[in-house]
């Protein structure tokens, strides 16, 4: 079985490994709404995104990539769409997912609570190879007091309104928030943010960084001004559904 996997991985390699001369790593870029991309992993990876998101359900004992259960398609498995391409590129780049010894965060939105056990088993089979990939779980997560029941190959996406013990905080490398937590009126990304909202975001970033945690805000607009504003305010990850536009801005 293992030999079959290796053969399959290297058969994929020629299609998934890009020319290093054209590569630019964009550590702050986060690929959101992977299900809207024709090639979810490959698109974000080719643009050097530092964080790539996958929404997963469990169906027939397999992790399936989809935003809604009714959108599940048999061929869209997490193993095929994310894990196998990662393993290919780890073997091409001296144990790192990207050339130049750059790591990547894979943010996995658990749509089913039982997905965590299936994911853990899958990843533990390749634990030594995946040391330079940060798997951060979001969505249907366990309670903070249960974090240490899971293998350390998995970490968790924290929330700003939760107080974590020092032990639990060690498993939370990322703190995420909905933009609505900073502004109830929303933002279309075509006009500047108020000083009040900017200061709230700056405080969020500062507090997270004091705890050695990175930051992400979801629900932000896909506009040039929005990307530039979030970058200026110090967000570690800037999410986008328009990957090419974000990549251009982060150049």
Burial (CB count <10 Å: 0-12, 13-18, 19+), residue 172: buried
- What's residue 222's pLDDT? 95
Angle between helices 2-16 and 84-92 (to 10 degrees): 80
Residue 68 banded pLDDT, cuts 50, 70, 90: confident
Query: Position of tokens 């490994």?
Result: 17
CA-to-CA distance for 109 and 134, rounded, in angstroms?
A: 14
User: For residue 216, what are its two tokens?
Assistant: 């992400």
pTM of this structure: 0.91
CA-to-CA distance for 94 and 98, rounded, in angstroms?
A: 9
Residue 239 banded pLDDT, cuts 50, 70, 90: very high
Query: Position of tokens 């054209």?
Result: 22
- What's residue 19's pLDDT? 47
Mean pLDDT, the chain, as a whole number? 91
Q: Report CA torsion sign: 83, 151, 68, 133.
A: negative
User: For residue 250, what are its two tokens?
Assistant: 């982060």
Q: Give the tens place of pLDDT for each residue, 26-39.
A: 999 999 866 566 77
Spatial CB neighbours of 31, under 8 Å, sequence gap ≥ 6 = 37, 40, 43, 44, 49, 51, 52, 53, 239, 240, 243
CA-to-CA distance for 218 and 178, rounded, in angstroms?
A: 5
- Say if residue 87's pLDDT is above 80: yes
Average of per-residue pLDDT across 170-191: 96
**Whether the Cβ atoms of residue 12 and residue 85 lie closer than 8 Å to each other:** yes
Q: Give the tens place of pLDDT for each residue, 129-157.
A: 999 999 999 999 999 999 999 999 999 99
- Say if residue 10's pLDDT is above 60: no
**Which is more confidently placed, 224 or 4?**
224
């Amino acid at each position: 079985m293992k030999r079959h996997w290796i053969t399959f991985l290297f058969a994929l390699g020629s299609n998934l490994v890009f020319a290093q001369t054209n590569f630019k790593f964009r550590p702050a870029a986060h690929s959101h709404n992977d299900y809207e991309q024709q090639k979810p992993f490959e698109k974000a990876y080719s643009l050097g995104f530092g964080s790539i998101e996958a929404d997963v359900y469990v169906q027939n004992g397999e992790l399936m990539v989809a935003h809604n259960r009714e959108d599940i398609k048999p061929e869209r498995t997490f193993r095929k769409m994310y894990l196998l391409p990662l393993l290919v590129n780890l073997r091409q780049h001296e144990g790192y997912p990207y050339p130049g010894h750059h790591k990547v965060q894979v943010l996995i939105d658990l749509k089913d609570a039982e997905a965590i056990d299936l994911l853990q088993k899958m990843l533990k089979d390749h634990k030594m190879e995946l040391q330079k990939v940060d798997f951060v779980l979001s969505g249907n997560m366990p309670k903070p007091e249960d974090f240490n029941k899971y293998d350390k190959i998995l970490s968790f996406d924290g929330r700003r309104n939760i107080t974590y013990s020092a032990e639990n905080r060690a498993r939370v490398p990322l703190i995420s928030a909905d933009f609505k937590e900073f502004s109830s009126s929303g933002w279309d990304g075509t006009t500047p943010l108020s000083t009040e909202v900017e200061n709230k975001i700056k405080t969020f970033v500062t507090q997270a960084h004091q705890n050695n945690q990175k930051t992400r805000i979801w629900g932000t607009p896909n506009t040039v001004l929005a990307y530039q504003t979030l970058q200026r305010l110090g967000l570690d990850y800037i999410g986008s559904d328009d990957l090419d536009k974000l990549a251009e801005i982060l150049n």
